[in-house]
Structure 1
């Protein structure tokens, strides 16, 4: 990527990270047809932990030091819950619809920051949050024939992911980003390893290779995400995270024969639009404060 500015490199890496995460989700959906979601989540975390251990081995003893162990555990628990809920939802919903609802997490983060961090919640941000919730309702459609309890899982995943991002804001002031990355992989692997024996199915060689690939792709996505955030400000690269809806739709059409119905597509667009709007308002507010 020679010739690109650091910000441009950060944007490219963010898009690459989202592509890898979408690829991981597609593999999780395919594996979830034959295996329990807990086993798929275990593969995701175990693969990431293996990559982390290899890359950070010389510094593990330093990176394990934290002044906020409780917050690290809570943060990692939120991400684990988000992953488990989302992977479980993929067995019941179209991948594009599930991804669309999951993408409500940025506006939920804005709401959480206002309630917990006492950040300003003006009328325009309230409009953005309300619009995102309307978009989620267009996809979930409670009371209709397409509604099921599984439809709520991506919403729960989005809530957990927003909580994960909120705790990350606290930790980002005092902890190196690689320390948080290490704890996320370690805690997720430990919890999944405790859960997986109850549902374990020994996969044949081809499926075992797919499990390994899922873990490696997830770890690569995390590394690209971290690199993106070191090259550019989070507020600059964050909107490109919505590319996941596009990638998920493509995977759904190509590999699962899924074509989102008009209401689901509209709901996803409303959520993305609301998220970009809230991001725009927050960016302007930060610049005004500066």
Structure 2
């Protein structure tokens, strides 16, 4: 549990830094830095010790698919948060645990009951409270964040399947390497952007550090507990996202967003309690 909580703090720092930088630099450049930095660091540190063993795995296809899912999440979440306050954006992303619970049946063979479906529907009604189709939040960023939550749910399930048999550093390196390769394709579209100064340059590099630390901690956490139990802990990230959004951007969630987030959290926690009892 402590590993998961530490991972969530790293992710909140990653999201806040990405949102801050996205006001001045293209999202594609930021996603590229988020993966290229750990790819270089992990390669430099681990390759001399492990050599080809670093990439050796009988499940390389699942490793590549898992890493590609996370790269897609990074583009969608960073792109969506560029236009939406931290608290609201993070709350929309919190439908992930409900999706994990529903998909755990067909993917992991876990039992999904009618009560799970009811809780999921109630949780998605919380999304409507946050998004409120009244012009308060732009629709496309909301859709991006919801699509990101679906990809992240699939990523979590893939992580769970790999955690029991794969070396953590191998999984982490595949994450960085595949993400770096895929995000490189976005660089030509950002060729017109200005280069960051020293301060912003350090923040860009920190995207890779916080992402690398967070996903290593997540991989280790998934090795010790089921996905349906750990995933609701993601709600702790809402506290950090709200505090960081207020501190960095001066944003506080609206009453409707608070109500929607509370409904999503309540449904997710209830679903986790049911899974734990089973």
| Fold shared per TM-score above 0.5 | yes
Asked whether the 8 Å contact 2:235–2:265 carries over to 1, the reply is yes
1:85/1:218 CA distance change after superposition, 3 Å:
same
Q: Which residue of 2 aligns with 1:152?
A: 143
For residues 14 and 54 of structure 1, what CA distance do their matches in structure 2 show? 26
Measured against aligned partners, the alpha-carbon deviations of 1:85-108 in whole angstroms (never above 9, x if no partner) come to: 000011110111111111111111
TM-score, length-scaled by structure 2:
0.90
- Given that residues 90 and 238 in structure 2 are in contact (C-alpha distance below 8 angstroms), is that contact kept between their aligned partners in structure 1? yes
Residue 233 of structure 1 is matched in structure 2 by: 225
Q: CA deviation at 1:226?
A: 3.5
Residue ranges of structure 2 left out of the alignment (5+ in a row): none
State yes or no: 1:263 paired with 2:256.
yes
Shift of 1:117: 4.6
Partner of 2:114: 123
SS at match of 1:195: coil
Give the count of matched residue pairs.
273
Q: 2:39 aligns with which of 32, 42, 49?
A: 49
Once the two structures are TM-superposed, the CA of residue 263 in structure 1 deviates from its matched residue by 0.8
Structure 1 residue aligned with 2:58: 67
C-alpha distance in structure 1 between counterparts of 2:9 and 2:161, whole Å: 27
Deviation of residue 75 (structure 1)? 1.3
What's the CA shift for 1:35? 0.8
- C-alpha RMSD over aligned residues: 2.0
**CA–CA separation in structure 2 for the residues paired with 1:42 and 1:238:** 26
1:245 matched to which residue of 2? 238
Matching of residues 136-285 of structure 1 within 5 Å: 136-142=127-133, 144-147=134-137, 148-200=139-191, 201=193, 202-229=195-222, 232-234=224-226, 237-285=230-278
CA distance in 1 between partners of 2:141 and 2:7 (Å): 27
Native 8 Å contact 2:32 2:184 kept in 1: yes
C-alpha distance in 2, partners of 1:141/1:17? 30
Match for residue 86 of structure 2? 95
- Is the contact between residue 51 and residue 216 of structure 1 (CA under 8 Å) also seen in structure 2? no
- The CA distance in 2 between the partners of 1:60 and 1:278, in whole Å, is 43
Deviation at 1:181, TM superposition (A): 1.6
Q: Find the aligned partners of 1:227 and 1:54 in 2 and give their Cα distance.
A: 21
5+ residue gaps, structure 1, are: 1-10, 286-290
Q: Deviations 1:231-281 (Å, cap 9, x if unpaired)? A: x42466544321100000001111111111111111111111111111111
What is the deviation of 1:189? 0.7
